[in-house]
Amino acid sequence: MGIQQIVFILVTGIAFFFAAKQFAKIRRTINLGKAYDTSGDLGLRWKETLLIAFGQKKMFKRWIPAILHGFIYVAFLFTQIELIEILIDGVFGVHRFFAGGLGVFYTLIISTIEILSLLALVATIAFLWRRNLLKLPRLHKSEMSGWPTLDANIILILEIFLVCAIFMMNGADVLLQKLDPSHFPDTGTLAISSWLGPALFGGMSQSSLLVVERVGWWMHILTVFAFLNYLPISKHLHILLSFPNVFFAKRSSRGEMENMTEIMTEVKSMMGLIPESEVDMDAEIPEFGAKDVMDLDWINVMNAMTCTECGRCTDVCPANTTGKKLSPRKVMMDIRDRATEIITNIESGKDEFKVDVTKPLTQDNYNDEKSLFDYISKEELHACTTCNACVEACPVMINPLEPILAMRRYEILTESAGPSDWMPMFTSIENSGSVWQVPDSREDWINK
C-alpha cells in the first residue's frame, strides 16, 4: 500500500467521522420537537417527494433562478458518479477504475459531467453576481446580514473550486494518457477537457502534468470533504433534508389549526353537550400552544433546519411588503438558531441549565430562562395575516405559519395576553359567543 493510499484512507476516515458526528447532532436537534402522526397516503408522499424535492417542481415559479439552480443541482447529482470513482481509486490505489470496463459509455458519462460542470460554473457566477452586485432585495433583508450572506458566498466559492479541480484533473489526464498509457487509461474524447487540457497545459513536461493532475484530484476530493463537514452548519443542509422534509410534511389543509382536546371539552361542557360529571374539574390546566422549540412538532424543527434562506416566503408576505416587522424566513432561522442553542447547551451537561441538579441534563430537565419569544417578537407574530402566501411560496414545503400560530396560541391562551385591540374581541366571544360587544346573547334572535 502506497503512502498516497494511506493518506487518502486516513483523510477520508477523519472526514466521514466528523461529518457523522455533526449529522447525528442534527438528528438530535430535530428530535427536540414533539412526536406527531406521520401516517397518511404513502403514494402521495412519494409522489410529492419525487416532484417537489427531487424534481424541483416549485422552483419553476421563477424561471431564471430555477434554470440556474437546475444547472448546479443536476451537475451535483451527476458528479457523484465521478466522486464514487475517486473514492475507489483512492482506497485501492488505482486510476480511472470505471474507464476500462465502461468504454464509450464512460466517455459519455465524463463528458456529460464536464458540460454540466461548465453550466454549473456559469450559474455559480450568476448567483454571486445576483447576490453581491445586483443585490436582490429579498437577499438583503436585515436577517441576512453577517453570517447568512457569508455562508451563501462560501458555498458558491467552494463550487468554483470544485469545477476548477475537475478540469485540472481531466485536462492534465488527457495529456498524460498519450505520454504514459500504461498508467493512464484512455477516456476517449472528452467534451471539454480534450481541447481545454492541451490549451491550458500543452507543452508541460510529464512530471509537471502529474503535479497538475494530482493537485486537481486532491482539490476535488478535499473540497467535497470540506463541503460534507460544512453542510451541518450551513443553510445548504437542505440538499439532504429537503427530501425527508417534503416526505413527512403534514397533509392537512394549509392554515388548518388542530383542535385542542382540553378546550373542546370545556366548550362542550359550557354548551351542555357533555355532562359535567365527565369533566375533571381538578385537572391541571395545560400550557397551550408553543413557548419553545420542545413545544413544536419535530417536523416544525426539521422545517427550520431545512430552510434554504432563499427568501421567497418573505418576498410574498403581505405584512413584510407593507413594512411590518414580520419575515417568515427570519422566523424559521430563529427557530433553527434556538434549537441549535438548546441542543448545544444540553450536550454541554452544565448544571446551570438543569431544573434539578441531581438529575442528568436532558430536554425534560432543561431550563436556560429563555424561550422562542426571546428570538421572535410578539410584534412579528401579530403582524401575520395567516394568508398562507409563505407556505405556498416555499420550494421545499416549509410551513412558517404553523409555529407562528402555535406561539400566538401560547400568548393568548396560556399567558392571557395579546394585542390591545384583540382583547375586547376575545372577551366578547367568551361572554356572549359573538365577536361584537353587544349586550344580547348571540342566540337571542332565534327567540324573536
The partner residues of 366 in beta bridges, in order of sequence, read: 354
Sign of the C-alpha dihedral computed for residues 204, 205, 208 and 214 taken in this order: positive
- Dihedral in degrees, nearest 10, Cα atoms 287, 288, 290, 291: -40
**Assigned C-alpha cell, 2:** 502506497
pTM listed for this prediction: 0.89
φ, ψ dihedrals at 395, nearest 5°: -75, -10
| Separation CA 321–CA 385 (nearest Å) | 12
Alpha carbons 399 and 248: distance in angstroms, whole number: 12
Distance in angstroms (rounded) separating the CA atoms of residues 327 and 332: 9
Cell of 418: 395579546
Q: What is the pLDDT of residue 391?
A: 95
Q: Over the stretch 355-366, which tens digit does the pLDDT of each residue have?
A: 999 999 999 999
The residues that bridge with 34 in the sheet, in sequence order, are 297
State CA 87 to chain mean position distance: 27
pLDDT above 90 covers a percentage of the chain that reads: 73
Would you give the end-to-end CA distance of the chain in angstroms? 97
Q: What is the DSSP letter of 259?
A: P
**Can you list the residues of the chain whose pLDDT is less than 70?**
270-272, 276-285, 433, 439-445, 448
Q: What is d(CA 29, CA 340) in angstroms, rounded to the nearest whole number?
A: 7
Give the DSSP H/E element, type plus range, for residue 153: helix 147-179
pLDDT given for residue 281 in this prediction: 62
How many residues make up the chain in this entry? 448
In angstroms, rounded to a whole number, what is the distance separating the alpha carbons of residues 269 and 205? 90
pLDDT digits (tens, 9 = 90+) for 162-192: 999 999 999 999 999 999 988 899 999 999 9
The C-alpha cell 425534560 sits at 364
pLDDT, position 279: 64
The secondary structure of residue 295, as a DSSP letter, is G
Cell for 186? 484512455
Q: For 248, phi and psi rounded to 5 degrees?
A: -95, 5
For residue 437, the number of C-alpha atoms closer than 13 Å in the C-beta half-sphere is: 7
CA distance linking residue 103 with residue 81, whole number of Å: 15
The DSSP bridge partners found for residue 354 are 366
